Amino acid sequence: MSKNIHLLGFIQNGVNSHATGMWRHPRDKVNWKFTDPEYWEHMARVMERGLFDGVFIADELAPYNTYQDSSDATVKYAVQCPTHEPSTIVPIITGATEHLGVGVTLSTAFEHPYSMCRRLSSLDHLSGGRVAWNVVSSYSKSEWDAYGQEMAPRGDRYDRLEEYMEVCYKLWDSWEPDAIIADAESGVYADPDKVAVVDHKGEYYQCRGRHFVAPSPQGRPVLWQAGGSPRGRDFAAKHAEAIFAVHPNIERMKEYTSDLDARVVTFDRAPGDVKYFFGVQTVVAETHDEAVAKYERIRSCIPLEGALAWISGHFGLDFSTIDLEDFVQDIEVPGIQGLFESILYAKGGEPVTVREAAQIYAMGMGMPVLVGTPAEIADQLEAYADGGGADGFMLIATYTPGCYEEFVDMVVPELQRRGRYRTQYTGATLRDHLLES
């Protein structure tokens, strides 16, 4: 029996998400402002109406500044700029919904695990157990520059990340289930013998104290990861409950899920313990020709220099110094390896020029772009699920909130008609929803 498909919205708390130039699209945020709570409330209700597992909020801590050694182009073309702090909208989204989860991207690079655990546990309480944490360690030069620090080497960042998670687990697990007594007659609220003092002295972090938040509904937030490099894949296989990846075709998806399945087993976990989500972008209409026209209108909003600024920031290389007709297959980048591979294979292994890479990436980070009728898009999603090993999909935004309204109104009913998508929520927490088969 075919497995059900899971869905999440993929967006940022900013004027523009992952399709560069959408702020200038005539259908983007019509009568809405991303700075207003009402915008997020509406988008959340649309996704809940579509029975999504949740909304995934990506983040970047500072404007990209690798292109021409400046953030001018990032600011000029609104390349994920401005972007506001992601956790601030979690209570707005969960307050407007009953079931929708929220995955929030928070970097470990510049925050101590003690405060990170406190914030995430508090958000899990406020949401009734609907919070996930996308664990990142900051990959771009601009982030480290903004915090006045030299960028740590990739290997060092993962070493730090491993210890960071060790401290987080100790804090989240420090309250025993029956620690809270709340005996009004005796005045005893909690048994200190059942709330452990975490005393951690490691290579990178020290912590001595009790977790300052009582156990939240999920105990720990759902842990999300997007490891692409070999070290990143190991980290994801060890820690993540759900993994987000970007691959341009079924073959690359299958290769990825097979590799992760093998890695998961080495950490004494079963492959089914981890859910695989692949990024896709959809452009849907009643007819194929109409969908193609909508797609071309979206592409026309992309500014080339803004696209170059984005790939420079993500891949850690100033693409203003490279000829636009050079092939990216001949280039080595220090930045996000997994996403760079999505560009390398964007044309099925055929050479991709820098110009093409920038335009492809600026459309949606190299994710497959599904253009067509509801039936055509459902066909492709089923193929990725059955042939590529996907448990679900991150739907990357184009113009908002329209792209989600259209998907919910047109594609979700088609998936339900085929028996590939839930018709109601059955769990109480985000973890419950993710584990639904």
Quick one: which of 1, 2, 6 has its CA closest to 436? Answer: 6
Pairing relationship of beta strands 101-107 and 131-136 according to DSSP bridges: parallel
Residue 323 marked in a binding site: no
Please name every residue paired with 282 in a beta bridge, in sequence order, or none if there are none: 370
End-to-end CA distance of the chain: 10
Please name every residue paired with 198 in a beta bridge, in sequence order, or none if there are none: 209
**C-alpha span between 360 and 350 (Å, rounded):** 14
Residue 158 marked in a binding site: yes
Task: Give Cα separations from 422 to 42, 180, 301 (angstroms).
Answer: 21, 37, 35
Quick one: which of 74, 97, 42, 63 has its CA closest to 433? Answer: 97
Quick one: which of 192, 228, 198 has its CA closest to 342? Answer: 228
Query: What are the tokens at 388?
Result: 């590529």
Quick one: which of 323, 291, 293 has its CA closest to 308? Answer: 323
Pairing relationship of beta strands 369-372 and 222-225 according to DSSP bridges: unpaired
Residue 107 marked in a binding site: no
Quick one: which of 275, 223, 248 has its CA closest to 339? Answer: 248
Alpha-carbon Rg for the chain in angstroms: 22
Give the amino acid at 127: S
Q: Are 198 and 211 in contact (CB under 8 A)?
A: yes
Query: What are the tokens at 182?
Result: 């709340």
Residue 35 marked in a binding site: no
Please name every residue paired with 297 in a beta bridge, in sequence order, or none if there are none: none
Annotated binding site for FMN: 59, 105, 158, 229
Annotated binding site: 59, 105, 158, 229
